[in-house]
Amino acid sequence: MQVDLDESECSAVAHGELTGPDGVRYLRRTTRTKRREADELVQAGTPLVLYYWSGARLVWHDGVDAAEAWQEVRAHVTSSEPHPNRKHVVWTAGSWDDGDNRSVLVLTGHC
């Protein structure tokens, strides 16, 4: 499933929180998750959120859509300081959780 989250969530994400389409509130725990760790999260069924901060857009992916979205951006994810690339959006990944063993992988795009 792919869902565009409400634009008001963009300001919440900037402050380290996000409410998913299921009403669960997630808080930022890490800002740099390595690809290998993200691979494991996606394989375990963790939802994936693509945060296009320059366009104020958040797209929630879960299930098969999360795995497909991850494969599209995986090669462009960095755990170091992002250096914009004119050909591709560069992503940083962070693992966020709700404090009750549910997590979401948030990828922030840098142009």
Average pLDDT over residues 19-28: 93
Distance from C-alpha of 20 to C-alpha of 36, rounded to nearest angstrom: 24
pLDDT at res. 53 = 67
pLDDT given for residue 61 in this prediction: 97
Q: How far apart are the first and last CA of the chain?
A: 26
Residues 30-83: tens digit of each pLDDT: 778 999 999 999 999 999 999 986 767 899 999 999 999 999 999 999 887 777
Residue 93: beta bridge partners?
107
Question: Distance (Å, rounded) from C-alpha 3 to C-alpha 37?
Answer: 24
The pLDDT, as a whole number, for residue 26 is: 96
